[in-house]
Amino acid sequence: MAELAINDRGLSRQVTAWDRLKVDRNWLSFWFMLPAAAFLILFLAYPLGLGVWLSFTDARLGRDGIFVGLENYEFLWDDSTFWLSVFNTLLYTTVASTIKFAIGLYLALLLNENLPFKAIIRAVVLIPFIVPTVLSAIAFWWLFDPQFSIISWSLKKMHLISSNIDFLGDVWNARWSVIFANIWRGVPFVAITLLAGLQTVSPSLYEAATIDGATNWQRFRYITYPLLTPIIAVVMTFSVLFTFTDFQLIWVMTRGGPVNATHLMATFSYQRAIMSGYLGEGAAISTAMIPFLLAAILVSWFGLQRRKWQQGESND
């Protein structure tokens, strides 16, 4: 039809390249994608590109910078606080994500059983995720207060310790404390998403396995786990991304202290860029996060492409 119409009009005037483009089937998909692409470019690619560009300038807050090449990165390379924040971020992400996965999977398996009040229990599990992060961070800040911690208080009353525990003032205590808060907050997301995955596993598989005499462990190992792998890959990618870029918990609880022992790259970047006004350097710290994040995304991306992950062992 469309071609016909063109031919008709083509009699009266020259068919321009624009006319062809407007109706070309191959270009049509391009036109349809244009709004979405414009949206992504404007709100995702442009800020990201701008951030990377800023990291190559000496921009200050409220003032354009000039191109300085790798100067910001060179400074950071020798900056012990920067490397400390990298170490903190990796530790925070690895430990918190691993534990979140373990507890989340365990909870999901439990919730998948036939429990009384199943719906209510499932809703309750979500609570830590529903509470605004800043609120829960303030709650943890009080729980870990050097003078007023209820934990220290209870242990003291039970005569287990004689003086308050310095949760946020000691380097390692502070790290474990913020990791604990992050786990508390992140478990529901992992648990509920994995639960959704578990419910897609067909019961007939379990029935067949039971008839074959499979044990509980075998049913988990050879049915649940392989079928859950794609979901696990997605959930853990998200979980790692969220943890790696965490900001609120740390900022409210410790502001990166004591002596920068809990500064993550995100909080450190904020401190340098916004508080001190060194936009360029702050952008460089943020940009330094990109390789780590890309690695996390690629792992799950390649993983999801492999049929082995989706359909079990030997089907590559």
Omega cis (within 30) before 291: no
By CB under 8 A, residue 51 contacts another protein: no
In the complex with another protein, the residue whose CB is nearer, 24 or 145, is 145
Are 309 and 233 in contact by the 8 Å Cβ rule? The answer is yes
User: Which region, left, alpha or beta, applies to residue 164 given φ > 0 means left and ψ of -120 to 50 means alpha?
Assistant: beta
By CB under 8 A, residue 168 contacts another protein: yes
By CB under 8 A, residue 254 contacts another protein: yes
Pick out residues in 71-130 that bind another protein (CB under 8 A). Answer: 75, 78-81
117 residue type, one letter: F
In the complex with another protein, the residue whose CB is nearer, 73 or 222, is 73
By CB under 8 A, residue 55 contacts another protein: no
Closest approach of Cβ 55 to another protein, in Å? 16
Task: Give the residue, chosen from 13, 25, 63, 157, that forms a contact with another protein under the rule CB under 8 A.
Answer: 63
By CB under 8 A, residue 277 contacts another protein: yes
CA–CA separation, 125 vs 296, rounded Å?
Answer: 27
By CB under 8 A, residue 259 contacts another protein: yes
By CB under 8 A, residue 278 contacts another protein: yes
Are 244 and 293 in contact by the 8 Å Cβ rule? The answer is yes
C-beta neighbour count of 220 within 10 angstroms:
14
Task: Give the residue, chosen from 34, 37, 45, 61, that forms a contact with another protein under the rule CB under 8 A.
Answer: 61
Piece of 26-34, 57-65, 181-189, 222-230 that binds another protein (CB under 8 A): 57-65
Cα angle value 132/137/141 (rounded, 5°): 155
Closest CA to 93 of 282, 217, 243, 230: 243
Where is 212: in which H helix or E strand?
Answer: none
Residue 119 burial (C-beta neighbours within 10 Å; 0-12, 13-18, 19+): exposed
In the complex with another protein, the residue whose CB is nearer, 19 or 166, is 166
> What mask, x for binding another protein by CB under 8 A, covers residues 146 to 165?
xxx--------------xx-
Closest approach of Cβ 290 to another protein, in Å? 23
The binding site for another protein (CB under 8 A) comprises: 60-64, 75, 78-81, 145-148, 163-164, 166-171, 174, 254-261, 271-272, 274-278
